[in-house]
Amino acid sequence: MTTPSVSAPEARTGPATPATAPGPATPAFAPGRAAPANATGRGATALRLAGLLAACVLLLLVAVLSLAVGAKAIPPGDVVRALLHGSDSVDASVVLDLRVPRTLLGITVGAALAVAGVLMQALTRNPLADPGLLGVNMGASAAVVATLALWREAGTGTSVWSALAGAGIAATAVHLLGARGRSGPAPVRLALAGTAVSAVLGALISVLTLLRPDVFDQFRFWGVGSLAGVPVAAFWQVLPFIAVGAMLAVGLSGSLNALALGDDTARALGSRVTRTRLLGAVAVTLLCGAATAAVGPIAFVGLAVPHLARAVTGPDHRWLLPYAMLLGPALLLGSDILGRVVGRPGEIQAGIVTAFAGAPVFIALVRRRRIAAL
């Protein structure tokens, strides 16, 4: 007797289910299944918008404190009256002539440094990258010191142009030293190149300040980064450069998201990698050069703020950049206020306070593994 043959699939799974089984067919993207994903997306967007609103409130609060707190405490009501109506009183003069320019510079410079940090970390795919680590701030500082040594009467406008040139030269040198052919720059080599370039430029600054005591007198307070004593004219001189750099950064947000996946993947998605890196480098140069020329080199803001923002937004640069524009000024102004309170009746420069206050925050972020992969 012949035994009926059974196919291998049927032997493992049993009789095949008829193709036209009774009952309605389930579509590939059923509404019932898509709803949770959409709800999750709406929830994430709402959370980010709420965080952005909270960051705006935080920045507003810190700005008001910056106008009210100092060697002479001024009540918030008097601050508001001075801003709205003006007055010939001493308090109004302190607010309008001293603290308003200081606060405006803190907001502008803080946003510039934070956005530059986001760009540097995205372009190099290195979570430890910031303008200070890669020599951009030191290049701007060296150029300003050289300008002061050659031209003692150089004003802020001249310093801005020299700082932009120095930042651009330093960024180009670090990129050339850290590049590895067609595959792009290696993060480790960029960090090493930035350290080497910063060391050379730091030595140049030391030589110039030691040989020229008059330059040292101008550089010793500016070199640690301070918002104090900067005229309001400096704000208007650096604002166009920072505004252009910030607009370039926002315009590159989509390309930066693609670049985070790797150069090859970014090219496959249609992103122009070389153009993105070039425009990003121009934006970093504008932001760091103008900020350094106005208040001196301020470290750590560009390193810590992107990680603080990324803890809320994730790696999406369309959200990360607006958060950085708000959290950077809040950190810098908060450090400036703390320096005024701790050092009263004098003050501690903001650049010193950012290092002391920001380093523990960054160490805590690293230890808790809250740094998202770029």
* pLDDT tens for each residue of 345-361: 878 888 889 888 777 76
pLDDT band (50, 70, 90) for residue 119 = very high
Position 331 pLDDT exceeds 70: yes
Residue 106 falls within a domain, yes or no?
yes
Q: What is the mean pLDDT of residues 236-263?
A: 89
Q: What's residue 107's pLDDT?
A: 95
Residue-wise pLDDT for 52-106, tens only, equals 999 999 999 999 999 988 878 888 888 888 888 776 778 788 888 888 989 999 9
Residue 374 falls within a domain, yes or no?
no
Q: What's residue 329's pLDDT?
A: 95
| CATH assignment at residue 243 | 1.10.3470.10
Percent of the chain whose predicted confidence (pLDDT) is above 70: 80
Residue-wise pLDDT for 7-17, tens only, equals 444 444 444 44
Residue 144 falls within a domain, yes or no?
yes
Most confident residue range from 144-158, 263-277, 285-299, 357-371: 285-299
Residue-wise pLDDT for 156-179, tens only, equals 566 778 888 888 898 888 888 877
Kindly report the pTM of this predicted structure: 0.81
pLDDT band (50, 70, 90) for residue 125 = confident
Residue 22 falls within a domain, yes or no?
no
Q: What's residue 59's pLDDT?
A: 95
Residue 139 falls within a domain, yes or no?
yes
Q: What's residue 27's pLDDT?
A: 39
Residue-wise pLDDT for 269-288, tens only, equals 888 888 888 898 889 889 98
Residue 7 falls within a domain, yes or no?
no
Position 113 pLDDT exceeds 60: yes
Percent of the chain whose predicted confidence (pLDDT) is above 90: 20
Instruction: Give the residue numbers spanning the domain of 159.
Output: 88-367
Residue 37 falls within a domain, yes or no?
no
Residue 297 falls within a domain, yes or no?
yes
- The three state secondary structure string of the chain is CCCCCCCHHHHHHCCCCCCCCCCCCCCCCCHHHHHHHHHHHHHHHHHHHHHHHHHHHHHHHHHHHHHHCCCCCCCHHHHHHHHHHCCCCHHHHHHHHHHHHHHHHHHHHHHHHHHHHHHHHHHHCCCCCCCCCCCHHHHHHHHHHHHHHHCCCCCHHHHHHHHHHHHHHHHHHHHHHHECHHHCECHHHHHHHHHHHHHHHHHHHHHHHHHCHHHHHHHHHHCCCCCCCCCHHHHHHHHHHHHHHHHHHHHCHHHHHHHCCCHHHHHHCCCCHHHHHHHHHHHHHHHHHHHHHHHCCCCCHHHHHHHHHHHHHCCCHHHHHHHHHHHHHHHHHHHHHHHHHHCCCCCCCHHHHHHHHHHHHHHHHHHCCCCCCC
Average pLDDT over the chain, rounded to whole?
79
Position 111 pLDDT exceeds 90: yes
Q: How many domains does the chain have?
A: 1
pLDDT band (50, 70, 90) for residue 180 = low
Q: What's residue 234's pLDDT?
A: 82
